[in-house]
Structure 1
């Protein structure tokens, strides 16, 4: 009985923090809809609206959906908790925005499907985390050598990429040049895997081993990927990894996950109030990119596939060669041609869900995706939460914006899962971890 009271207080604190996060997200979406020219994009182009006359409807919808957050109160930290909370925020944003959207489709079944899908995802992603027995594990020395090998591969990838494309471009001008980037497909794959999975794992590994020179080298390589990829994510990845590492050291892992979203959103909202137009670019980069865009994608995909043929997974490149597909172009290009918002990828809830099998079967498909994330939980079981948080810090952002299959292959999530499995658990039990060296000693 003595143990129940601390747990109840912990859940109460966690629940209160999630409710604050919900309020911050809604306030952020209101501010974005009202920002207009101040942030260099037209909200109407993104179907991003706010109507005070319908505020009571949006509040009722969001309040009802907030009950789903109870799942997080009873789940332990895992990689699935990390991803699941970001997806929860995306669906929260979609339900809010759909109350004001000008797109013409039946929102009630779409909203019910979205809620059923996130529940179907969370059940395995949050609650399947039993460890898989390690048939093989690296020694501490071998782990060190892997970290140095990743650094070497990252440096080689950057040198190869720079031979094809290297542009120092201001962040607001990247879209003028990004479509002009040309490099071999194999190099694009290697760049995606290196930036999203390998170098973040390398940084987390060096941080665990307290080899700060190695950790700094990993961050430098990540920063050098920006002029090659002209990606906002590449530019901010070093800062993000450091922030996640600090959060994971200062707070319990589940609280760190919530703060990783709520903190930046709230900070930018405060800066916008204080400095107005001077902070507008941050509103566009942080609040628009982190929360609004993934939620808008759900709105767009619901609208499009209420009027067009489903893909039945033919958007997956290797399947397109084997089966007939109603779309010759990638879905991101199809959405660009239809809505004029640029290439518009979307999360697994929109692609493996809505686009592939439609509203009614989307929860089934998303449940299977949740099982894949649960596999990541099982392969990382026994690793410190701080290490999982930091090494996997980029993947939730990737998963918000691209399909699961793309994340597993192009962005290296499958490689990261394997590295988690091979990482020696005994290494974290040492009181004074050995420093990585070029010799691996």
Structure 2
């Protein structure tokens, strides 16, 4: 998936029109935040890490629309505002971008909404200093992991949140998906809503995360959502599916690469950060739409780069 983007592809070309005013992005984000605040007015609160699962339960709703709004602010609108604020050295927009993402924590206790803004800021300053982002993050995370391992026995929260939730759960869920779909029906991408709309061939009565978690004895309301390799790869075609979905992601990166110009390369680079978080937690197709990265692709198809 990482070598395919190195192949040169011919990008799609449309007559470019004048870029939209940046303030429209702020207005859209404000409207979304207002809608979410109204929708969750009875359950919204900032809680400790010990109470995040209760907060998620209290805020759980079946509204697809508000679910999308939550994800779009977390992974797209908030980070995009933050990125623009940093690049343009606009303190107000930078702070608003940070607060937009952090705001989501009060809805469902999503810890990732506390982490994304500060990682974006860190990567931006690393880039500005001229350091290698890959090398800097590799050494930093290695040091952090070693430090966390050394103190994990004394601090249960660090063990459960950082070691188990960040690193352990991803591997465990991938294993569970692999074992489950060795014995049960494959989906052949029918778990993707638009595919199932035409095929009507989805073999289960619940979403994949609920099906897999129930199989392993969890409560029926537990959603064991996993990374794109498990969700779109193993669930669709078994082990062969891992190769298929990896190629698809590589092709998507290749298409995105054709849109990267001198004027927008830093925006694209920063926006890969939230996209990488969501694609490691849900399927590829869900990530592109729910993570909002598709909006960036569409925008640069039709609008000139600033």
* TM-score (normalizing by structure 1): 0.61
Shift of 1:247: 2.4
Shift of 1:277: 4.0
Is 1:282 matched with 2:161?
Answer: no
Match of 2:66 in 1: 187
Shift of 1:163: 2.5
1:325-404 maps to which residues of 2 (within 5 A)?
Answer: 325-340=202-217, 342-383=222-263, 385-404=265-284
Residue 43 of structure 2 contacts residue 58 of structure 2 at CA under 8 Å; is this kept in 1? no
Match of 1:211 in 2: 90
**Aligned counterparts of 2:53 and 2:233: Cα–Cα separation in 1:** 29
**Aligned counterparts of 1:128 and 1:334: Cα–Cα separation in 2:** 40
Is 1:418 matched with 2:276?
Answer: no
Q: 1:251 to 1:236 in 2, by over 3 A?
A: same
Shift of 1:343: 2.2
Q: Deviations over 1:301-331 (max 9, x none)?
A: 2111111111111211344354232211111
**Aligned counterparts of 1:338 and 1:383: Cα–Cα separation in 2:** 49
1:6-17 maps to which residues of 2 (within 5 A)?
Answer: none
RMSD (Å) for aligned C-alpha atoms: 2.7
Unpaired runs of 5+ in structure 1?
1-120, 428-441
Shift of 1:182: 3.6
Residue 264 of structure 1 contacts residue 286 of structure 1 at CA under 8 Å; is this kept in 2? no
Match of 1:50 in 2: none
Q: Deviations over 1:276-311 (max 9, x none)?
A: 545542343334334333333322221111111111
Residue 131 of structure 1 contacts residue 380 of structure 1 at CA under 8 Å; is this kept in 2? no
Residue 150 of structure 1 contacts residue 202 of structure 1 at CA under 8 Å; is this kept in 2? no
Match of 1:320 in 2: 196
What secondary structure does 1:371 align onto?
A: helix
Q: Deviations over 1:126-148 (max 9, x none)?
A: 44576654632444xx3422343
Q: 1:167 to 1:326 in 2, by over 3 A?
A: same
Residue 201 of structure 1 contacts residue 392 of structure 1 at CA under 8 Å; is this kept in 2? no
The structure whose Rg is larger is 1
What secondary structure does 1:382 align onto?
A: coil
What secondary structure does 1:186 align onto?
A: helix
Shift of 1:227: 0.8
Residue 376 of structure 1 contacts residue 417 of structure 1 at CA under 8 Å; is this kept in 2? yes
Q: Deviations over 1:152-182 (max 9, x none)?
A: 2343244234325313321122123313324
Shift of 1:396: 0.2
Deviates most, 317-326 or 303-312: 317-326
Match of 1:270 among 140, 147, 161: 147
**Aligned counterparts of 2:9 and 2:169: Cα–Cα separation in 1:** 30
Residue 76 of structure 2 contacts residue 274 of structure 2 at CA under 8 Å; is this kept in 1? yes
Residue 44 of structure 2 contacts residue 107 of structure 2 at CA under 8 Å; is this kept in 1? yes
- Higher helix proportion (structure 1 or 2): 1
Match of 1:167 in 2: 45
Structure with more contact order per residue of length (Cα contacts < 8 Å, sep ≥ 6): 1
Match of 1:293 among 163, 169, 172: 169
1:55-74 maps to which residues of 2 (within 5 A)?
Answer: none
